[in-house]
Structure 1
């Protein structure tokens, strides 16, 4: 048991699949790291407009997207946006995380069940850590193609790369809190943000999405706190 917990703790901090993928993206597929939409946090997302455009479901990363790192509860300020998302998409929402629900570190699904009980959103069980793998488990859960789904996350080289490769509409948020994030993760994040901003400034464009040619239509001012 102690070995499983240690492996999980180390593995969640060092994503070897992500490192290999990042090198490939940097060398030849830089556009895959560019999100369709950039927002400070999910309160800026217009869920009603996205649903009107034909999207059928929303997939959230967990840590620093809707919860603080390693937390099982929603980050307070974004709770209202989650409620609005539920009012629009109903049960067609899920978490796809490299911690809760990943069989390698959550072999019995206990972390996923705890998270589901706390936030009221289904956690998709899966075998391969983002950005590697395919959207097969997600598509099976929602019963539709990935092109009809929205991927929301805080990491360009993980959430966005995975989402773009699979055909999702990708939305990148800023991290909710860096206080609990390991030092190495913070440094990698800084590099990711620097590269993405540099590529945008150089005129590199994200891949297009058929359902929403102008992604800015789904961004709004957040409601007052």
Structure 2
């Protein structure tokens, strides 16, 4: 299934001019295997939300990327599968006819796939409504800056950027181009000493 045009992602990019911190992740890892699940829980994170494509699976695939299986199982064991959610810009959206892909993902990944009408970085209220957990006790994980990381920061989540893509095979061409720009954007913001949005876990981590 191919994603439809994401106008929200384009319009929300202009927010970065006024607040570039929205594009800065609190934690940067290569992939989900490096996420410190136990430490997150120890510091008060109670739920994990993930993008799907190139974060958990290859683009438009429904099975967990095989090298990530142990880390994925550890995440569900640490937080409980009811507190782990997929927020995709394809599965579970209006692009997903009758929610068929969302249902298939729930079977293959073993967690809930959020049904939502507004694509990331908009639509944070749907995740809050589903999890019923305070926003700062949710970590959001994704490979895209202008959708996933901005989405999480707009919602007051702890944001985790998985910078190493699983595969570019099958990904759409605009995503390939924008992803490269996003990597340059993060490097530039680091150079300008732009800090992520305030978050209790991030503050405590820096102090340690």
- TM-score tier by shorter-chain length is over 0.9
Aligned length: 205
Specify the alignment match of 1:114 in structure 2: 104
Pair 1:18-2:9 in alignment: yes
TM-score, with structure 1 as normaliser = 0.86
* TM-aligned CA deviation for residue 184 of structure 1: 2.1
- Which protein has the larger Cα radius of gyration, Structure 1 or Structure 2? 1
Specify the alignment match of 2:133 in structure 1: 144
Pair 1:172-2:161 in alignment: yes
Aligned counterparts of 2:6 and 2:205: Cα–Cα separation in 1? 30
Pair 1:84-2:74 in alignment: yes
Within the candidate set 76, 84, 105, 1:93 is matched to: 84
Within the candidate set 37, 54, 62, 1:64 is matched to: 54
* TM-aligned CA deviation for residue 215 of structure 1: 4.5
Within the candidate set 50, 62, 67, 2:40 is matched to: 50
Specify the alignment match of 1:201 in structure 2: 191
**CA deviation digits over 1:65-89, x for unaligned, max 9?**
0000000000111111011111111
The CA RMSD measured in Å over matched residues stands at 1.6
SS of the aligned residue for 1:109 comes to: helix
Aligned counterparts of 1:78 and 1:114: Cα–Cα separation in 2? 19
SS of the aligned residue for 1:128 comes to: coil
Aligned counterparts of 1:139 and 1:86: Cα–Cα separation in 2? 19
TM-score, with structure 2 as normaliser = 0.93
Unaligned runs of 5+ in 2: none
Structure 1 residues 97 and 136: alpha-carbon distance in aligned structure 2, compared to 1, 3 A threshold: same
Contact 1:36 1:215 in 2 (8 A): no
